[in-house]
């Protein structure tokens, strides 16, 4: 029986997840530049910086060297500028025709193993110069920055799930209303954009919208290009869970574990949904049978749509506060009504039981009333005569008292 060679336990030291992003920003590197230098997708770099997964093997050494050496620059990278708040993030294209059911890509394997393996011991970060201080944003400024950065792209993505522009705007605004009401939770979240995206998708795909006439009317501005219109029609024919899963995986380029977590499904279930959705789309559009082609067209459809007319961030915050006050007043009014009705019932309720009187009913089949019959006139005169002669008549004996 052959014995396996022992696995090497030496690994390049890495800083803690909290310091990885600061080190990258101190070197003026974007996530895309680091991803190209290490050989992974941008979503993988975001996962490493959030602490959800950890690099392994040669990629760990390259990533650690890139962060540790202050003079290291990523090779063969084009100079790109940081995205402005009004531009949407461009997801990195996945490998050509991936197999989500097996998930054999190296970075996805690392993510899958990281879900079951114990957390690695964090080592001390190298002594690098501290990053420059950044100005602290107020709560309103942080919310406005998130809204201006995420909302336009999120409206286009939600349009692919619903096919209704009005419903897409309403879903995104409602998601940011909830984000402002739960802002401490959203601000501490590792992915605030993902938090808002999940809420917007849930609201957009709610079955209750079918009862509203305004959301059942067809869209007046479908995509002009026939290929994109056919893809949108194929997406809308998919079941809602399949539609959402294929948009996250092939459209936004999320990994399979992240897609499964956001759709609240297991990783095998998410993989099966992706495979069935691809098969259904390829049945109508054979040219999109490859995963790379589907990803490219989905990305173009989500990015190059008509620019949505977004509500100002100040109006969104004001609307969220107004909505919260309205429902608070409704809850207080309903509670007051219930308490008043209960008190009135307690005061006016009887203290003892009074049985109700049964209503009268007609009874049939009873005996006929009997009694003396009325006398005729002659008998009445005779009776009168007899009564007058009873005590004084000669025929009668009147007893005398001695």
Q: How confident is the model at residue 113 (pLDDT cuts 50, 70, 90)?
A: very low
196-240: pLDDT as tens digits: 999 999 888 888 877 776 666 666 566 667 777 888 888 888 898
Judge whether 11-82 and 139-303 match in fold.
no
Calpha distance 220→238 (Å, rounded):
21
Q: What backbone phi and psi angles, to 5 degrees, belong to 192?
A: -60, -35
pLDDT given for residue 307 in this prediction: 64
Calpha distance 162→214 (Å, rounded):
13
pLDDT given for residue 46 in this prediction: 82
pLDDT at 101 over 60: no
E strand segments, 34-150: none
pLDDT given for residue 398 in this prediction: 62
pLDDT at 156 over 50: yes
pLDDT given for residue 99 in this prediction: 45
Q: How confident is the model at residue 162 (pLDDT cuts 50, 70, 90)?
A: confident
Return the structure tokens found at 92. Answer: 């990195």
User: Helix or strand or coil: residue 284?
Assistant: helix
pLDDT given for residue 115 in this prediction: 35
Calpha distance 6→310 (Å, rounded):
58
> Mean pLDDT, to the nearest integer, of 110-128?
39
The architecture of the domain spanning 139-303 is Up-down Bundle (1.20)
pLDDT given for residue 76 in this prediction: 44
Calpha distance 117→134 (Å, rounded):
36
**Mean pLDDT rounded to a whole number for the chain:** 75
Calpha distance 113→138 (Å, rounded):
39
Return the structure tokens found at 375. Answer: 């006398």
Q: Which of 302, 296, 349, 266 is nearest to 94 (CA)?
A: 296
% the chain with pLDDT above 70: 72
Of the listed ranges 2-11, 13-22, 59-68, the least confidently predicted one is 2-11
pLDDT at 111 over 60: no
**The CATH number of domain 11-82, selected from 1.10.260.40, 3.40.50.150, 3.20.20.70, 1.10.3720.10:** 1.10.260.40
Higher pLDDT, 299 or 133: 299
Residues 6+ positions from 11 with CB-CB distance below 8 Å: 56, 60
Q: How deeply is 172 buried, as exposed, middle or buried, from its count of CB atoms within 10 A (0-12, 13-18, 19+)?
A: buried
pLDDT given for residue 325 in this prediction: 93
Q: Which of 92, 2, 112 is nearest to 45 (CA)?
A: 92
Calpha distance 81→79 (Å, rounded):
7
Q: Which of 322, 343, 320 is nearest to 140 (CA)?
A: 320
Rg of the chain on CA atoms, in Å: 43
Chain Cα centroid distance, residue 391? 113
> Mean pLDDT, to the nearest integer, of 140-152?
89
According to DSSP, residue 75 is labeled T
pLDDT at 247 over 60: yes
Residue-range domain boundaries for the chain: 11-82, 139-303
Using alpha carbons only, what angle is made at residue 49 by residues 47 and 51, rounded to the nearest 5 degrees?
70
Chain Cα centroid distance, residue 103? 27
Higher pLDDT, 80 or 179: 179
User: Helix or strand or coil: residue 318?
Assistant: helix
Residues 6+ positions from 382 with CB-CB distance below 8 Å: none
> Mean pLDDT, to the nearest integer, of 46-62?
82
Of the listed ranges 28-42, 209-223, 279-293, the least confidently predicted one is 209-223
Other Cβ atoms closer than 10 A to 192: 19
Residues 6+ positions from 38 with CB-CB distance below 8 Å: 45, 55, 59, 62, 63, 66
325-382: pLDDT as tens digits: 999 999 999 999 999 999 999 999 888 888 888 888 887 877 776 767 788 888 888 8
Chain Cα centroid distance, residue 240? 13
302-337: pLDDT as tens digits: 776 666 778 888 888 999 999 999 999 999 999 999
Return the structure tokens found at 171. Answer: 């879903």
8 Å CB contact between 273 and 101 = no
Higher pLDDT, 86 or 2: 2
Q: Is the dihedral of CA 266, 272, 276, 282 positive or negative?
A: positive
């Amino acid at each position: 029986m052959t014995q396996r060679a022992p696995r090497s336990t030496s690994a390049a030291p890495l800083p803690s997840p909290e310091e990885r992003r600061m080190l990258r920003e101190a070197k003026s590197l974007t996530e895309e530049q680091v991803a190209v230098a290490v050989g992974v997708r941008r979503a993988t770099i975001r996962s490493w910086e959030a602490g959800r997964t950890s690099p392994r093997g040669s990629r760990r050494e390259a990533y650690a060297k890139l962060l540790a050496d202050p003079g290291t620059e990523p090779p063969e990278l084009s100079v790109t500028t940081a995205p402005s708040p009004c531009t949407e993030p461009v997801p990195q294209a996945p490998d050509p025709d991936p197999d989500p059911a097996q998930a054999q890509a190296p970075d996805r394997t690392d993510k899958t193993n990281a879900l079951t393996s114990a957390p690695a011991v964090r080592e001390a970060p190298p002594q690098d110069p501290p990053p420059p201080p950044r100005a602290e944003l107020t709560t309103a400024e942080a919310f406005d920055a998130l809204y201006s950065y995420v909302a336009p792209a999120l409206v286009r993505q939600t349009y692919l799930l619903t096919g209704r522009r009005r419903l897409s705007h309403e879903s995104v605004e409602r998601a940011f209303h909830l984000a402002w009401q739960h802002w401490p939770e959203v601000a501490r979240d590792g992915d605030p954009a993902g938090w808002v995206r999940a809420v917007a998708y849930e609201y957009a795909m709610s079955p209750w919208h079918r009862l509203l006439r305004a959301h059942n009317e067809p869209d007046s501005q479908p995509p002009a290009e026939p290929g994109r219109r056919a893809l949108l029609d194929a997406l809308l024919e998919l079941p809602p869970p399949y539609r959402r899963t294929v948009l996250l995986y092939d459209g936004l380029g999320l990994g399979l574990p992240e897609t499964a977590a956001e759709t609240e499904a297991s990783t095998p279930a998410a993989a099966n949904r992706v495979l069935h959705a691809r098969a259904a789309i390829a049945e109508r559009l054979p040219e999109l049978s490859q995963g790379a082609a589907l990803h490219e067209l989905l990305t173009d459809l989500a990015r190059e749509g008509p620019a949505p007319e977004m509500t100002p961030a100040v109006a969104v915050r004001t609307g969220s506060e107004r909505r919260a006050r309205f429902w608070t007043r409704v809850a207080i009014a309903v509670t007051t009504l219930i308490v008043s009705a209960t008190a009135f019932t307690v005061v006016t309720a009887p203290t003892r039981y009074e049985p109700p009187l049964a209503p009268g009913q007609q009874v049939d089949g009873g005996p006929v009333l009997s009694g003396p019959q009325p006398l005729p006139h002659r008998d009445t005169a005779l009776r009168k005569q007899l009564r007058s002669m009873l005590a004084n008549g000669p025929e009668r004996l009147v007893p005398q008292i001695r």
